[in-house]
Amino acid sequence: RVGLIVPAYLIPYGIATLVFGLLADRLGIHRVMFASLAAFAILTALTATAASIEQIALWRVLTGLGASGVVPLGLALVGRLYPYEQRGRPLGWLFGAMAGGMAFGSPAGAMLVPFVGWQGLFLVVGAAGAGILLLFLPYRRIIAAAVQPVAGTFGDLFRGYKSLLGTPRGQRTYGYVLVNSMFHSGVFTWLGVYFEQRHGVGPVGVGLALLGYGVPGFLLGPMIGRAADRWGRARLLPLGLALSAVAAALLILGFPLILAPVVAMLLSLGYDMTQPLFGGIVTSLGGKRPGQAMGLNVFMLFVGMGLGSLIFGEMLRFGFEVSLGLFTMVELGLAAMSIRLFRSEVVQVRSS
């Protein structure tokens, strides 16, 4: 039941990005982004009022719906501020911050709860969101100038999605974003349960074991992005997918607990060498509607994360070996196919 809280946030988040992307193209990225960040801060703080798992899940659904204008529009903004051949580094920073937040938040939450309670944790995160909103309000004019609103009808909307998914480049990129996010979310969401069952560690120990997950993205994200800009995404994507599969395979084989952060780090490195690179490709697909293109990307990303968490959790009735084995084989298959499918993603690729 507690495991359902994760997809309760991620799936509505992904679905709502389609709406926020459209609104951003029509109303302006800065308006929608700041309104969404305000909704995140308020709804996260209100989650502290929940009196049951069901109420927490409901608040997480509402928070996912309200907060989903931040990440996709941040990615779309990068696409407007930097040319395609220079987007790798800023996208590396952005995805590295996402991975670092997940990794550092896990041990921080486990260590803070004994002192502030789980309700206090939601209040702290809500207050942090409000602080970030106030910090970035002075930059609203810069953001507004970077991306001008685009008028259009619902017919234009559907034609936009048809255009994004109507080319082989768009189909393979969005497809990989979906399946790759299912893999990473499925494995990472249940990694704490794995360490608890296999090694008997408590909440703080689980948090420390997961700490390595954010290190590669936090430290190496910009370097990975720069490498993609310099050598092309065709060389890095297969390697990143293969590293992810290797990390999952190590979980099947087993290892000393002291190496848990290293395995988490390897899993994270696989993520940092794939999803940001896919995001860079998507920023070149949107044309005059970057919000719509990135909204579809984040829809695939977060819906994939929610589905991956659900599927992996359901498969756990057959044991970790079966779940990890299936996810590993799928990721290895993606790695093998990516060598051919993304061979055209070399430096300065401009079209399909």
Domains of the chain: 2-145+166-341 (1.20.1250.20)
**Which residues neighbour 219 within 8 Å (Cβ) at sequence distance 6 or greater?**
96
Map residue 286 onto helix, strand or coil: coil
Q: How many CB atoms lie within 10 A of CB 340?
A: 10
Task: Tell which residue, 69, 62, 201, 47, has the closest CA to residue 133.
Answer: 69
Residue carrying the six token digits 């040319």: 83
**pLDDT at site 153:** 59
pLDDT grade, residue 148 (50/70/90)?
low
**Greatest mean pLDDT among 10-14, 189-193, 196-200, 304-308:** 304-308
Distance CA 351, CA 195 (A): 44
**pLDDT at site 143:** 77
Report DSSP letters for 131-185, one per residue.
HHHHHHGGGHHHHHHHS------HHHHHHHHHHHHSSHHHHHHHHHHHHHHHHHH
pLDDT at 109 over 60: yes
Instruction: Tell how far CA 235 is from the center of its chain.
Output: 22
pLDDT at 352 over 60: no
Q: How many CB atoms lie within 10 A of CB 172?
A: 18
pLDDT in tens, 165-218: 888 999 999 999 999 999 998 898 888 888 888 888 877 777 777 777 777 777
Q: What is the mean pLDDT of residues 298-307?
A: 87
**Greatest mean pLDDT among 151-165, 239-253, 289-303:** 239-253
Distance CA 267, CA 251 (A): 10
**Which residues neighbour 158 within 8 Å (Cβ) at sequence distance 6 or greater?**
none
**Which residues neighbour 318 within 8 Å (Cβ) at sequence distance 6 or greater?**
none
What is the share, in percent, of the chain residues with pLDDT greater than 70? 91
The values of phi and psi at residue 70, to 5°, are -85, -60
Average pLDDT, the chain: 83
Task: Tell which residue, 120, 101, 16, 132, has the closest CA to residue 63.
Answer: 16
pLDDT in tens, 32-78: 888 999 999 999 999 999 988 889 999 999 998 998 888 777 877 77
Task: Tell which residue, 74, 71, 76, 56, has the closest CA to residue 9.
Answer: 56
In the chain, count H helices and then E strands: 16, 0
Residue 23 in tokens: 């609104």
Contact assessment for residue 37 and residue 133, using Cβ atoms and an 8 Å cutoff: yes
Cα four-point dihedral sign 7, 8, 9, 12: positive
Contact assessment for residue 226 and residue 85, using Cβ atoms and an 8 Å cutoff: no
Task: Tell which residue, 298, 242, 300, has the closest CA to residue 271.
Answer: 242
Q: Which of 240-254, 256-270, 318-332 has the lowest mean pLDDT?
A: 256-270
Residue 323 in tokens: 């779940």
Reported as half-sphere exposure (CB side, CA atoms, 13 A), residue 182 has a value of: 20
**pLDDT at site 211:** 74
Report DSSP letters for 45-91, one per residue.
HHGGG--SHHHHHHHHHHHHHHHTTSHHHHHHHHHHHS-GGG-HHHH
